[in-house]
Structure 1
């Protein structure tokens, strides 16, 4: 290859070569200076520092004596003792490991005696640290908790077998609804408002459409109420209803109502809910409920 055309870029005058050489000398000198220099800072010690520290120790000691300070020891559940906590209490690594292995089996110690049996701590160490142990209330009062559990189970069972009248949700008053656990004035008003908008409920599954009702409350409602569709229900004639009438139906709104009218004019009457469900954006998951408000 011919590199002669590059000579004009690599040609330097005498002064330029001297300048480049001096630049290299400066760079190498700075590198050597940085390499062999010690940039670590030494702490400046005050000649009076030790004297100050001695005074401060005396002051702290006098404050401690004056306030009669005592180390605060907090009660704890020994089942959840940490390595550091066990070490501070005087336990050996082996003793702590025994407790950890015991806990990995999803077991618990429920007394100081069981703690000693599992860990193998000495009597003297147990007497020293057992005063800090705090076990759950149910451990210390097993008899009382067992009695309460039995009474609660008996009450729950008697409540389950208790018979009650199942009411028609369409005839329920606000007082009837408030009797259900979890329903107050606000939720009961929403249920009644939803019934007013729809004209009547046709399924208890419509409780899921009432904002604020939890699954547990809906289950309670279904156990205390049922749906009896009134004979006076005003159904919508989907093949003859106007756009305005269809758009006022809560499950349709204006956009879907317009598509229904357009589809009807182009394809003829709807024979059943399956024909209606062919329309785009139709809420298929609610087709069964919607069909009970329509007539074909």
Structure 2
């Protein structure tokens, strides 16, 4: 069998393709050699540039990942924050009360979450451990911190300092001035002077007194939500009521809404009082409400001081 001269083992186009790819391969190899040569001849510069690039990348990544954190973080403002200070125990104060004091929501959350997680403030300086605590904030808060155990330790320390070296018998703790508050004239801040009464409880006692129209007996404090016998017994010796003439409700003109706004009168009793008033064509005496079947004797006696014709 004979072959023509133009005949070959591979087609012409396939040969051209192989030559083309060989050319590309040679070009890449030359480029790699040039890069390697350049690297080893300029090692110092290459390392410097790599360091700069790595720093820049890390910096950009850090800024990108933490951008939100920076926006949320509480940095000291150029405008000085104003505070509404009041005495408080950092181990029991609420987030709402801290915001009322003048803290930001993030700062208040930081303190409250520390306590919820099991942290405890044993002394005023423990506040400095918190992430949110700036120098200005500490100066604003520290004079109003009231931690019972810390106060006892300070009292013992003062007592020890006054004892003489010739007398090892400890002197008794100095007694605090006797505090007597008029229950109807004291606001929530005044009430915080009593041991065991914090901002929340002081406000609760004050608000309940306003709803009543004024306290007529100190024993009514037992009706305040959260009042325990122990706390009640510890504060009654520091309280008095000089004015026992509370704000009264006229049962001949009051509406259901006005009557039921009093802590001793619910909606059903208010409705019964008005129904009987209509039947009697107005009350002639306060004891005419006594027959109302949902009003027991004890409730009647508590309610009478707050009613009038």
Give the alignment's TM-score, normalised by structure 1. 0.41
Higher gyration radius (CA): 1
Give the alignment's TM-score, normalised by structure 2. 0.40
